[in-house]
């Protein structure tokens, strides 16, 4: 009997303990559920569906718990019988960066981004502005949040591939890599689109946790994989205009092409001065020309004449409003999305040879040492004598023979001296390698060709830099230290110290040293750029050095340009393709005419818009290059390539192919010879069994395994590659030094 009594007692104790634990768990779940949904209320049945209890007999426990928590003030009961938390929840506003299918970060502008699980995003997509509630602060990690409301949609139109079902409905798989869900389309909203078409679609109803968003097809771009469809897809992805509005074209056609005598009399006449242009072989718009004449022994007058776009495009016109909205021309691999209609960009404003053109100029008197003795700014009229391509000008420079051989020789000599002086002052020599494509008549890439910059390119660049610097400095001084005259500057801040240190660590993996002290960064970077010239790691280190720097931008703040080592700098030389240059022309003329200062706030907002459009253009251009690189590599599956490891992650190794500058990934899951583990600190992966190492900077051989043109991704596999044994690493490091 005593044993039986003890058994009943233990049973009762265990039962009470389980009940207590269940009550604690229920309490915790209820407070967490209501706390994470601050500002929202829930009825009893909604709470049951969300957290339990598992059976009806426990509903009484939940009722009792609700009464208890209400009495303690932890929750409140509303007039309609629903319940809500009384806990104050911190809310923040930010922009969604949907990193991968599992989670996103919300950039709130604070010290740390907020971690949000995908299931807690609601129906927010990448780029949306959202209000989030902080639901927990994970020790040593980023705070965690949950989307409360969507403040502003980043966009409602997207591009993707249509998958048409026999059941009279369709889905669109979006091209954009940071959208991880499909969009549902009813048959009525498919239009004329067919299976596997690339389409532009618009969201008409946002989904929730259980339902995909609903959309309708706006435009059929073509068959997936075809050049026209894919390029249109990129244009739509970045919201680039496909065409000019009829009213814009109509207004451009009305502009008179005749230059009146009274207009000529307002300008400094350079029509009898030797003048020529140097541009890419396939250029159609020529917005800068160089005039040259000797003014004495060892003295020269060099004029930088820029297309006078603002003479034709007046403020307040439809043309000007459209140009401002576009803000820049966009150069995709097989076409240009121009800022101005062809009537202006290729005809009226283009400084074509043997035609009289209206220009805005910066004219310099320079001695044979490259020292600027005097300068003049104002409107001019020119008559270009010749049009050089870069290749033609380079041939004349190298041979010393041909049209304007002496002029080109002297100009090149002056440019070399100007360039040397700029680097002596601390300018950074960023010579990133760009690529161009040889395309067939259907736009298919036949070859990827690295662009090579020679003296002819640098000649033009140096005089454009001189003009831009001189205009900015003139206005700054005219305004007595920049405080008086609002102006549009092109600025480039000092690089962030932490990013420079990270880059230095990266460069160290290739055996290079970088002095990260603020006063020594630019010269140390130049030394590094010289060291890596012609080496396999040149392109990756140049690209990463640029990324480590601050981003250049347009602003009315009269700051300097770190990369060029100029105290003041602007963009004056490309008004056919950049709206900020048009603003600079107008402001320069305004102050030359002794005009009063203009609104700083107004021009700052225009600068912000122009910087944003510039970034959009750069992203679109990179996407088109990436697409052509992947398309080209899709035809090269059997070829063995030499590559260099440019990145190491916990899921794969990034490799840049030396010959084509294309980057792909070797996934760790595809490396069957061993189980490789990521050593984040040392930028490498190491085999668990054989101790073989793949690390940043290693030269490898790869083949193409798979290409995904839709997402512009490429999978590679190692071939005949001997990774570094761990015992050899020390010797390898010594060789690198």
**Got the DSSP string for 588-603?**
HHHHHTTPPPPPHHHH
Give phi and psi for 562, each to the nearest 5. Answer: -60, -50
pLDDT greater than 90 at residue 11: no
Residue 142's pLDDT is what?
74
- Gap between the Cα atoms of 98 and 107, Å rounded: 11
Task: Return the closest-CA partner of residue 382 out of 262, 276, 260, 302.
Answer: 276
- Contact, 664 vs 657, CB < 8 A? yes
* Model confidence pLDDT, tens digit, residues 674-694: 999 988 877 789 999 888 899
* Least-confidence region, from 371-375, 508-512, 655-659, 697-701: 508-512
Q: Does domain 2-85 have CATH number 3.30.1490.20?
A: no
C-beta of residue 379 within 8 angstroms of C-beta of residue 589: yes
For residue range 601-621, list pLDDT tens digits in order: 999 999 999 999 999 999 999
More confident residue, 663 or 165: 663
pLDDT band at 333 (very low <50, low <70, confident <90, very high): very high
Helices 521-532 and 538-548, axial angle in degrees (round to 10)? 160
The better pLDDT of the pair 240, 20 is held by 240
Cα separation, 206 vs 204, in Å, equals 7
**Integer CA distances (angstroms), 42 to 51, 328, 693, 716, in order:** 12, 51, 55, 51
At residue 238, the 3 state secondary structure works out as coil
pLDDT for residue 492: 92
- State how far the alpha carbon of 248 is from the alpha carbons of 239, 244, 308, 590, in Å: 18, 6, 19, 26
- Residue 722 clears pLDDT 50, i.e. is over it: no
- Better-predicted residue by pLDDT, 405 or 8: 405
The architecture that CATH gives domain 157-224 is: Beta Barrel (2.40)
The answer, yes or no, to whether residue 728 has pLDDT greater than 60, is: no
d(CA 233, CA 531) in angstroms, rounded, equals 40
Q: Give the pLDDT confidence score for residue 732 in this predicted structure.
A: 46
User: pLDDT, tens digit, for every residue of 638-668?
Assistant: 789 999 888 888 889 999 998 888 899 999 9
d(CA 304, CA 378): 11
Strand (E) or helix (H) holding 229: helix 227-237
718 strand-pairing partners: 702
Residue 61 pLDDT > 80: no
**Looking at beta carbons, which pairs linking 239-243 to residues 24 or more positions away fall under 8 Å?**
239/155, 239/157, 239/616, 240/330, 240/337, 240/616, 240/620, 241/326, 241/337
pLDDT band at 695 (very low <50, low <70, confident <90, very high): confident
How far apart are alpha carbons 556 and 472 in whole angstroms? 11
- pLDDT tens, position by position, 440-494: 988 899 988 888 889 999 999 999 999 999 999 999 999 876 568 999 999 999 8
Residues ≥6 apart with Cβ < 8 Å to 84: 34, 37, 38, 39, 40, 41, 42, 75, 76, 78
pLDDT of 250: 97
Backbone dihedral region of 534: left (phi > 0), alpha (psi from -120 to 50 degrees) or beta? left
Per-residue confidence band for 325, with pLDDT thresholds at 50, 70 and 90: very high
Q: What is the pLDDT of residue 54?
A: 59
First to last CA, the chain: 85
What gap in Å lies between CA 479 and CA 442, rounded to an integer? 54
pLDDT at 45: 80
Query: What is the model's pLDDT at position 247?
Result: 97
- Of 284, 317, 288, the closest CA to residue 304 belongs to 288
Q: What angle do CA 562, 621, 633 make, to 5 degrees?
A: 120
Q: Which tokens hold the place of 271?
A: 């029509």
Dmax of the chain from CA atoms?
126
Q: Look up tokens 């220009």; give the residue.
A: 359
Q: Is the pLDDT of residue 4 over 90?
A: no
Give mean pLDDT, residues 79-107. 84
Mean pLDDT score, 418-444: 86
Q: Decide whether 2-85 matches 157-224 in CATH topology.
A: no
381 membership: H or E segment, kind and range: strand 372-383
pLDDT above 90 as % of the chain: 54
Give the pLDDT confidence score for residue 725 in this predicted structure. Answer: 47
**Range of lowest pLDDT (49-58, 628-637, 660-669):** 49-58
Q: How far is CA 620 from CA 318, 333, 385, 447, 714, in A?
A: 25, 10, 36, 21, 19
- Each residue of 318-329: b (16+ CB within 10 Å) or e? ebbebbbebbbb
The total of other beta-carbon atoms located within 10 Å of residue 110's CB is 10
Residue 9 pLDDT greater than 80, yes or no: no
Q: In what order do the strands lie in the sheet with 386-389?
A: 268-269, 372-383, 356-367, 299-307, 288-296, 275-279, 386-389
- CA-to-CA distance for 580 and 611, rounded, in angstroms? 9
Strand partners, 301: 293, 365
Reduced to 3 states, what is the DSSP secondary structure of residue 506?
A: helix
Q: What is the pLDDT of residue 532?
A: 84
Cis peptide preceding 619, ω within 30 of 0:
no
Mean per-residue pLDDT of the chain: 87
Rg value, the chain, Cα: 32
pLDDT for 730 equals 42
User: 36 to each of 33, 112, 147, how far by Cα in Å?
Assistant: 5, 20, 10
CATH topology classification for 91-152: OB fold (Dihydrolipoamide Acetyltransferase, E2P) (2.40.50)
Closest CA to 609 of 372, 397, 323: 323
Q: Which residues contact 4 (CB under 8 A, 6 or more apart)?
A: none
Q: Any idea where the domains of the chain sit in the sequence?
A: 2-85, 91-152, 157-224, 247-491+563-623, 497-549, 634-736
Closest CA to 198 of 168, 171, 169, 225: 225
CATH class of 634-736: mainly beta
pLDDT tens for each residue of 560-577: 999 899 999 999 999 999
CA distance 671 to 721: 12
645 or 36, greater pLDDT: 645
pLDDT at 558 over 60: yes
Say how far apart CA 381 and CA 377 lie, in whole Å: 13
pLDDT on residue 39: 58
């Amino acid at each position: 009997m005593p044993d039986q009594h003890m058994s009943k007692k233990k049973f009762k104790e265990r039962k009470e303990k389980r009940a207590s634990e269940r009550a604690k768990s229920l309490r915790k779940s209820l407070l967490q559920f209501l706390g994470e949904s601050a500002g929202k209320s829930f009825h009893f049945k909604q709470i049951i569906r969300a957290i339990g209890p598992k059976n009806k007999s426990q509903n009484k426990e939940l009722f009792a718990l609700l009464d208890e928590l209400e009495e303690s003030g932890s929750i409140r009961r509303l007039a309609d019988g629903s319940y809500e938390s009384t806990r104050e929840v911190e809310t923040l506003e930010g922009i969604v960066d949907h990193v991968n299918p599992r989670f996103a970060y919300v950039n709130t502008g604070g010290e740390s981004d907020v971690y949000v699980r995908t299931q807690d995003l609601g129906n927010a997509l990448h780029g949306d502005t959202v209000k989030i509630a902080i639901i927990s602060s994970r020790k040593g990690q980023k705070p965690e949040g949950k989307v409360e409301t969507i403040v502003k949609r980043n966009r409602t139109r997207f591009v993707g591939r249509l998958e048409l079902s026999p059941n009279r409905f369709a889905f669109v798989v979006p091209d954009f890599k940071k959208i991880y869900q499909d969009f549902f389309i009813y048959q009525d909203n498919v239009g004329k689109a067919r299976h596997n078409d690339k389409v532009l679609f618009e969201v008409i109803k946002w989904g929730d946790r259980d339902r995909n968003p609903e959309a309708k097809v706006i435009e059929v771009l073509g068959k997936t994989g075809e050049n026209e469809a894919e390029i249109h897809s990129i244009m739509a992805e970045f919201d680039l205009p496909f065409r000019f509005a009829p009213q814009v074209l109509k207004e451009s056609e009305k502009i008179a092409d005749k230059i009146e005598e009274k207009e000529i009399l307002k300008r400094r006449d350079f029509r009898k001065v030797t003048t020529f242009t140097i541009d890419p072989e396939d250029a159609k718009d020529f917005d800068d020309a160089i005039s040259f004449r000797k003014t004495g022994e060892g003295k020269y007058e060099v004029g930088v004449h820029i297309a006078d776009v603002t003479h034709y495009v007046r403020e307040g016109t439809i043309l000007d409003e459209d140009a401002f909205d576009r803000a820049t021309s966009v150069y995709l691999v097989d076409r240009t999305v121009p800022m101005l209609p062809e009537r202006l960009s290729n005809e009226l404003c283009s400084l074509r040879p043997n035609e009289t053109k209206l220009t805005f100029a910066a004219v310099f008197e320079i001695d044979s040492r490259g020292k600027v003795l005097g300068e003049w700014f104002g409107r001019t009229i020119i008559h270009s004598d010749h049009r050089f391509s870069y290749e033609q000008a380079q041939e004349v420079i190298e041979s010393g023979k041909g049209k304007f051989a002496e002029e080109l020789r002297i100009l090149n000599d002056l440019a070399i001296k100007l360039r040397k002086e700029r680097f002596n002052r601390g300018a950074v020599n960023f010579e990133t390698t760009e690529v161009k494509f040889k395309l067939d008549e259907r736009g298919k890439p036949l070859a990827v060709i690295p662009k090579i910059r020679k003296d002819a390119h640098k000649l033009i660049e140096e005089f454009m830099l001189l003009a831009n610097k001189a205009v900015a400095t003139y206005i700054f001084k005219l305004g007595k230290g920049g405080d008086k005259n609002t102006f549009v500057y092109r600025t480039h801040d000092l690089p962030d110290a932490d990013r420079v240190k990270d880059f230095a660590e990266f460069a160290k993996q290739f055996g290079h040293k970088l002095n990260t002290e603020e006063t020594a960064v630019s010269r140390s970077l130049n030394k590094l750029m010289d060291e890596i010239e012609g080496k396999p790691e040149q392109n990756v280190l140049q690209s990463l050095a640029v990324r480590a720097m601050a981003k250049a931008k347009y602003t009315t703040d009269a700051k300097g340009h770190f990369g060029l080592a100029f105290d003041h700098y602007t963009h004056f030389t490309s008004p056919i393709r950049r709206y900020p240059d048009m603003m600079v022309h107008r402001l320069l003329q305004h102050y030359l005419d002794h005009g009063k200062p203009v609104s700083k706030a107004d021009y700052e907002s225009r600068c912000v818009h122009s910087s944003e459009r510039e970034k959009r253009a750069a992203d679109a251009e990179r996407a088109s290059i990436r697409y052509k690189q992947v398309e080209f590599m899709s035809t090269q599956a059997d070829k063995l390539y030499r590559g260099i490891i440019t990145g190491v992650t916990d899921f794969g190794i990034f490799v840049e192919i030396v010959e084509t500058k294309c980057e792909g990934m070797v996934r760790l899951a595809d490396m069957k010879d061993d189980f490789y583990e990521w050593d984040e600190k040392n930028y490498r992966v190491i085999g668990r069994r054989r101790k073989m190492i793949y690390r940043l900077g290693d030269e490898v051989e790869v083949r193409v395994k798979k290409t995904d043109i839709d997402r512009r991704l490429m999978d590679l596999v190692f071939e005949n590659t001997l990774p570094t044994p761990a015992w050899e690493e020390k010797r390898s490091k010594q060789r690198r030094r």
